[in-house]
């Protein structure tokens, strides 16, 4: 059974930084894509960033976070991180980790079979 556990959310002032972690367990992830999505109150869940476990240049970012957020992985720990810098009030949301094997389009949330419980990020202005 695949499990995804997010951590690292919290309250931060605008311009600050946070690092989210997604610890994955239950199987090997050599061909899987792991992504971060977020959902603000009253809004649809939206893509933030994704990383494919293997291959070169496996990174994908939403335009709204390019240059501010960085997704990375620690293969030994089966953990994916989301470093969030220069945070803005509009980044406030619940952030979810998602994973699935052989994802053709990493940006589409319906392509992901497994989801974590979410972690709240609140950016005060």
pLDDT digits (tens, 9 = 90+) for 51-61: 987 667 689 99
- State the pairing for strand pair 119-124/10-13: parallel
Q: pLDDT tens, 74-84?
A: 888 889 999 99
Task: Kindly tell me if the per-residue pLDDT of 15 is higher than 80.
Answer: yes
d(CA 114, CA 121): 21
Mean pLDDT of 8-13: 98
First to last CA, the chain: 40
Mean pLDDT of 88-100: 97
Instruction: Name the band, by pLDDT with cuts 50, 70 and 90, for residue 40.
Output: very high
d(CA 117, CA 3): 10
Angle at 24 between CA 42 and CA 94, to 5 degrees: 15
Residue 25 CB coordination number (10 Å): 12
């Amino acid at each position: 059974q695949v499990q995804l556990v997010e951590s690292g959310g919290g309250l931060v002032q605008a311009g600050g930084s946070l690092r989210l972690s997604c610890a994955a367990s239950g199987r090997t992830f050599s061909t899987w894509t792991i992504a971060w999505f977020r959902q603000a109150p009253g809004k649809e869940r939206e893509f933030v960033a994704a990383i494919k476990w293997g291959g070169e240049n496996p990174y994908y970012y939403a335009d709204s976070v390019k240059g501010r957020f960085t997704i990375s992985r620690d293969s030994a720990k089966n953990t994916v991180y989301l470093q969030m810098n220069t945070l803005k009030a509009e980044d406030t949301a619940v952030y979810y980790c998602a994973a699935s094997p052989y994802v053709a389009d990493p940006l589409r949330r319906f392509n992901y079979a497994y989801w974590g419980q979410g972690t709240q990020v609140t950016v005060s202005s």
